[in-house]
């Protein structure tokens, strides 16, 4: 059984009004949390990293072939953010659960929660920006650009700056404290900053999570209704909007427990159950693994790109390479080559019997001119 890990409240300094673990729950008692939780996190990390890498490869192929769009550029940024979360944040939590203490040093202790929150805020803001992006594919122009990237680059730069600035308290209040033979990574908020931080922790989840997600969901629900009932090309447009709506809904639902427990603790209430906090962290990382699954199953361009990658990979693995079908060719060229090869094989004659068929071809022997026909000779025998 898991027991409450928050046994440090008795040792909390007098000038500290807030005390919480950073980088994962530490001092857990029980082998279940030490073995099961790291295995779950590693499985989420591996599967999600593979999925996001495939999505990025597909988008890169689309950009290089002139099939890019503004939405694809933003979704590629979202996949990159998910990949960073899975590769840099998940291993830290898995090690912390396994060691039940902090073994990664002071720098990682101070930056791990700040970095994770920066990525989470960036995800919600990127999904909100997709509401202003064009969903249709823009072909290459004469200058070689498939879309005007100025506002996309500006929006991503703004999102990056805001997402790193808002979670600054996660960087300032993190500290590494000795505990027994090891150390623990905690967040300590001084009493002098409690009033301001109490107001900040009411504003921070609202501005970084609640408002962007609510706006994105409301926009795509309204746009999907309009596309289905009034748009001239309702089928294609509604499918793209449905994909973005599913991504926004999954993001909001799967991040809600993490933001709920975060706000619950920071506002000074009692700590939530340990099982709820562990479930919220696992759901947070599972959200980064679910996004590529939604794109591969619902987004036509990504699904077609995945099929193309599969055929390309299997074709290159065959020997000889000449047997692989060319994507640029058409069926008539392949059929013409096959017919030509068949005719050339049919015209060939073995050299050993060529003189026999040459002598016998188009010849006719009459009985009156053949003294001993071989057919009659055979009957006589």
Instruction: Say how far apart CA 337 and CA 331 lie, in whole Å.
Output: 10
Q: Is the pLDDT of residue 14 over 60?
A: no
Asked if residue 350 belongs to a domain, the reply is no
Model-wide pTM > 0.85: no
pLDDT for position 28: 81
The conformation of residue 184, written as its DSSP 8-state character, comes to E
- The overall average pLDDT reported for the chain is 78
- Percent of the chain past pLDDT 90, that is, above it, reads 39
46/359: higher pLDDT: 46
**pLDDT classification of 85: cutoffs 50, 70, 90:** very high
pLDDT tens digits along 94-119: 999 998 889 998 999 999 999 999 99
- Percent of the chain past pLDDT 70, that is, above it, reads 71
Tokens of 349: 């004659």
Lowest-confidence pick of 85-94, 131-140, 262-271: 131-140
Asked if residue 284 belongs to a domain, the reply is yes
100: left (phi over 0), alpha (psi -120 to 50) or beta: left
**What average pLDDT does this structure show over 58-72?**
87
Asked if residue 347 belongs to a domain, the reply is no
Tokens of 298: 């619902």
- Please count the structural domains in the chain: 1
The DSSP-derived string for 345-365 is HHH---TTSHHHHHHHTT---
- Other beta carbons within 10 angstroms of residue 150's beta carbon come to 8
Asked if residue 258 belongs to a domain, the reply is yes
Lowest-confidence pick of 10-14, 166-170, 188-192, 193-197: 10-14
Element (H, E) at 176: strand 174-179
Of 34, 36, 37, 26, give the one whose Cα is nearest residue 4: 26
pLDDT tens digits along 132-152: 887 655 554 434 444 567 888
Asked if residue 161 belongs to a domain, the reply is yes
Asked if residue 359 belongs to a domain, the reply is no
Q: Is the pLDDT of residue 251 over 60?
A: yes
Asked if residue 17 belongs to a domain, the reply is yes
Residues 151, 156, 160: CA angle, nearest 5 degrees: 150
Q: Is the pLDDT of residue 44 over 90?
A: yes
Burial (Cβ within 10 Å: 0-12, 13-18, ≥19) of residue 216:
buried
**pLDDT classification of 249: cutoffs 50, 70, 90:** very high
Asked if residue 327 belongs to a domain, the reply is no
List the CATH number of the domain containing 243.
1.20.1070.10
pLDDT for position 137: 52
Which range of residues forms the domain containing residue 143?
A: 9-316
**pLDDT classification of 244: cutoffs 50, 70, 90:** very high
17/40: higher pLDDT: 40
pLDDT for position 281: 93
């Amino acid at each position: 059984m898991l027991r409450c890990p928050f046994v440090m409240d008795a040792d909390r300094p007098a000038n500290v009004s807030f005390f919480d673990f950073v980088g994962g729950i530490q001092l857990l008692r029980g082998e279940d949390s030490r073995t099961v939780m790291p295995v779950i996190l590693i499985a989420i990390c591996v599967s999600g990293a593979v999925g996001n890498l495939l999505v990025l490869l597909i988008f890169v192929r689309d950009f290089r072939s002139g099939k890019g769009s503004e939405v694809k550029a933003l979704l590629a940024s979202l996949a990159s953010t998910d990949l960073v979360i899975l590769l840099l944040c998940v291993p830290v939590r898995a090690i912390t659960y396994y060691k039940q203490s902090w073994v990664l040093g002071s720098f990682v202790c101070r930056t791990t929660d700040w970095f994770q929150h920066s990525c989470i805020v960036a995800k919600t803001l990127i999904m909100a920006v997709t509401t202003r992006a064009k969903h249709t594919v823009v072909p290459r122009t004469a200058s070689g650009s498939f879309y005007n990237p100025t506002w996309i680059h500006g929006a991503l730069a703004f999102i990056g700056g805001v997402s790193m600035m808002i979670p600054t308290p996660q960087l300032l209040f993190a500290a590494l404290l000795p505990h027994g033979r090891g150390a623990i990574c905690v967040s300590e908020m001084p009493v002098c900053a409690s009033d301001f931080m109490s107001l900040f922790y009411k504003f921070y989840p609202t501005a970084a999570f609640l408002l962007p997600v609510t706006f994105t969901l409301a926009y795509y629900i309204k746009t999907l209704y309009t596309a289905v009932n009034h748009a001239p090309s309702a089928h294609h447009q509604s499918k793209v909007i449905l994909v973005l709506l599913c991504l926004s809904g999954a993001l909001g639902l799967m991040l809600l427990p993490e933001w709920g427990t975060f706000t619950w603790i920071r506002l000074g209430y009692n700590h939530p159950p340990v099982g709820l906090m562990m479930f919220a962290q696992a759901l947070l990382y599972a959200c980064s693994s679910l996004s590529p699954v939604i794109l591969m199953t619902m987004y036509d361009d990504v699904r077609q790109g995945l099929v193309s990658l599969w055929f390309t990979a299997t074709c290159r693995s065959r020997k000889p390479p000449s047997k692989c079908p060319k994507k640029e060719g058409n069926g008539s060229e392949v059929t013409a080559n096959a017919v030509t090869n068949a005719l050339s094989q049919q015209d060939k004659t073995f050299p050993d019997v060529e003189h026999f068929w040459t002598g016998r071809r188009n010849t006719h022997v009459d009985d009156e001119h053949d003294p001993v026909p071989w057919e009659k000779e055979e009957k006589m025998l």
